[in-house]
Amino acid sequence: MLRPIYYDTETTGVKPQSDRVIEIAAYDPLNDKSFVSLVNPQMPIPKEATFIHNISDDMVQEAPLFKDIIPSFLDFLGDNFVLIAHNNDAFDIHFLRNEWKIAGLELPKWPFIDSLKWARKYRPDLPRHSLQFLRESFGIEANNAHRALDDVIILHKVFSSLVDDLPFTTIYELLNEPAKVTHMPFGKHQGKLLSDVPKDYVLWLDKSGALEKVENQALKQALDKLGFFQEVK
């Protein structure tokens, strides 16, 4: 069974290829221990970023570089865990990957759970899914929003409310199961049942390389199951 570890990053901006991590925090609820460290990004922190998380250049001037934090972060993680962050797939994981790359390393192939993706998928009744809106919806006390450790503690409480006692291995599998495609998602036959899409159009898409895109892999698998790529004998 996977052991949940919640984590969060604060950064100089929103572009992982040019911005840097300035704080990282994690919380292991099973062992009730936490990890938090400011990080020297080796670049100025824009005023608009400081306005959000209240981390200034002076605060990180004497902080360690990210590459020097990696060993202690790995020790904290241990093994047999899953990392959980809110908006992980579009934000935090990309910053982690880039920081590992700058350190001359490759980010390990850890399992990750995006709690924002889970909330959007399984709580469509809620009008918004930001961490703070979910906190308010579940009646969880306010925190020092946008500082990494505070956000991680709130995320633990919010996600626990979202998933109840569902095992984290099951949560991970549910979020990573292939999407079931039944209708054509784009093009001139958009909205049609896949079985009603002309075969020559599907073969043209395949030949053009459109079905090789990562976002279209589930579509290609569904078309293949329907026999679109079987040769006529």
How far, in Å, CA of 34 to CA of 22, rounded?
Answer: 17
Catalytic site residue 183? no
DSSP state of 144: -
CA nearest 171: which of 113, 89, 116, 122? 113
Could you give the dihedral angle defined by the CA atoms of residues 39, 83, 15 and 145, in that order, rounded to the nearest 10 degrees? -70
Cα 49 to Cα 20, 22, 52, 57, 154: the distances in Å are 11, 11, 5, 11, 21
Tokens of 14: 């929103």
Active-site residue, selected from the candidate residues 129, 146, 183, 189: 146
Tokens of 80: 């047999």
How far, in Å, CA of 113 to CA of 84, rounded?
Answer: 5
Residues marked as catalytic? 146
